[in-house]
């Protein structure tokens, strides 16, 4: 989808993951080119000792603006490039921000050029290479930028539908700045990440702790100790939460009754499913289905 959107116009797309969801779920993995700004002017700014700090500051300000507004924003970075910032929202929570642009807006081009020259002057940075990259950057009219906003909004909505289909346990994710997120992700042992992937892909199977431990090639007791220490819950508690998230999605579909949903999400009987659902969600599956209007 990212490549498709980039093919529509000379805009670049990246995703700022603020929760870690794109690290944990194989279906949402992104390559490095789509995890950061890669425009030529951006790359030069990041290599410059006098300008590299501004990139992170611009991104942090944009993220805060999106979190504060709860919707997409559009503006210029410290290098004069226009970017659209569109949040990925799922169940009322912002999981990350799509950035689409790295273009020069035609109507404000002169102002952007003066701003970049002034910044180079203040930071005592040679303006030549940066101005060459600025002049070579793609141009877009304000109307084209508005059309791009609509397209990236559609992309964010489609990504939210993918999350709904995956039935992720969203209560285990919290929005935070990227630096802290990267630090936490690096601290999460590969064993825990592998176990989470196994559960995300095989939740509908009658998995036991031994099955999951076998899939990640370790002893069940060792997996239990490591997983609880780093994930804050047991392996089987986490599996139940993943199953219940999928069940909540299926309860919104009229073609499935509660018994069918129990089996579709890895439970062996309706009673166990109902007890687990009520404990984790705070209401019975039948109430959830009524409230969804199906």
Which one of 146, 172, 198 terminates a domain? 172
Whole-number pLDDT of residue 181: 47
How large is the average pLDDT for residues 71-89? Answer: 92
Beta bridge partner(s), residue 104: 139
Q: What's the domain count of the chain?
A: 2
**Prediction pTM value:** 0.63
**pLDDT tens per residue across span 239-268:** 999 899 888 878 877 678 899 899 888 998
**Higher per-residue pLDDT: 291 or 86:** 86
- Segment 180-188 long-range contacts (CB within 8 Å, at least 24 positions apart): 181/17, 181/18, 181/19, 181/20, 184/20, 185/20, 185/23, 187/230, 188/230, 188/231
Report d(CA 276, CA 36) in Å as an integer: 40
In a domain, 179, yes or no: no
Question: Over 80: is that where the pLDDT of 204 sits?
Answer: yes
Q: Verify that 32 and 161 share a domain, yes or no.
A: yes
The answer to the question of residue 65 being in a domain is yes
177 lies in some domain: no
Report whether pLDDT(30) > 90. no
> What's residue 279's pLDDT?
92
Cα 44 to chain centroid distance, Å, stands at 26
Percent of the chain predicted with pLDDT > 90? 43
Average pLDDT over the chain, rounded to whole? Answer: 85
pLDDT computed for residue 179 by the predictor: 47
pLDDT tens-digit series, residues 129-181: 999 999 999 999 999 999 999 999 999 999 888 887 777 666 656 665 554 54
> What is the pLDDT, as a whole number, of residue 171?
60
Length of the chain: 294
Same domain, 210 and 267: yes
Residues 168-194 have pLDDT tens digits of: 666 656 665 554 544 445 456 889 888
- Of 7-11, 58-62, 204-208, 233-237, least confident by mean pLDDT is 58-62
Cα gap 4→127, rounded to integer Å: 34
Domain that holds residue 38: 2-172
Task: Looking at the structure, tell me whether residues 70 and 168 fall in a common domain.
Answer: yes
- What pLDDT score does 104 carry? 96
Are residues 148 and 9 both part of a single domain? yes
Question: Could you tell me the CA-to-CA distances from 9 to 81, 93, 176, 199 in Å, in that order?
Answer: 16, 29, 31, 38
* Residue 198 located in a structural domain: yes
- The pLDDT score that the predictor gives to residue 174 is 63
- pLDDT on residue 200: 82
Same domain, 154 and 193: no
Q: pLDDT grade, residue 50 (50/70/90)?
A: confident
Residue 285 makes CB contacts below 8 A (sequence gap 6+) with: 247, 251, 258, 261, 273, 274, 277, 278
Asked if 164 and 197 sit in the same domain, the reply is: no
Residue 167 lies inside a defined structural domain of this protein: yes
59-87 mean pLDDT: 89
Name the least confident of 19-28, 29-38, 150-159, 232-241: 19-28
Same domain, 139 and 8: yes
């Amino acid at each position: 989808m990212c490549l498709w959107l980039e093919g529509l116009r000379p805009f670049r797309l990246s995703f700022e993951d603020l929760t870690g969801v794109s690290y944990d779920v194989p279906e949402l993995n992104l390559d490095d080119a789509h995890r950061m700004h890669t425009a030529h002017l951006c790359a030069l700014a990041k290599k410059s000792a006098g300008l590299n700090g501004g990139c992170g500051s611009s991104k942090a300000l944009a993220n805060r603006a999106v979190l504060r507004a709860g919707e997409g924003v559009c503006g210029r970075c410290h290098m004069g490039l226009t970017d659209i910032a569109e949040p990925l929202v799922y169940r009322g929570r912002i999981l990350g921000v799509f950035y689409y642009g790295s273009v020069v807006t035609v109507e404000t081009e002169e102002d952007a050029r003066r701003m970049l020259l002034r910044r180079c002057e203040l930071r005592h940075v040679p303006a030549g290479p940066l101005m060459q990259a600025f002049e070579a950057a793609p141009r877009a009219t304000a109307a084209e930028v508005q059309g791009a906003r609509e397209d990236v909004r559609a992309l964010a909505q489609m990504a939210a539908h993918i999350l709904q289909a995956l039935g992720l346990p969203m209560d285990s994710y919290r929005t935070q700045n990227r630096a802290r997120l990267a630090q936490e992700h690096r601290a999460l042992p590969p064993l825990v990440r592998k176990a989470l992937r196994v559960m995300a892909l095989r939740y509908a199977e009658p998995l036991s702790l031994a099955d999951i431990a076998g899939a990640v090639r370790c002893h069940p007791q060792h997996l239990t100790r490591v997983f609880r220490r780093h994930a804050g819950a047991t392996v089987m508690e986490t599996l139940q939460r993943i199953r219940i998230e999928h069940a909540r999605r299926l309860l919104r579909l009229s073609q499935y009754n509660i018994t069918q949903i129990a089996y579709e999400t890895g439970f062996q009987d309706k009673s166990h499913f109902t007890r687990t659902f009520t404990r984790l969600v705070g209401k019975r599956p039948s109430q959830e289905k009524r409230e969804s209007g199906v």
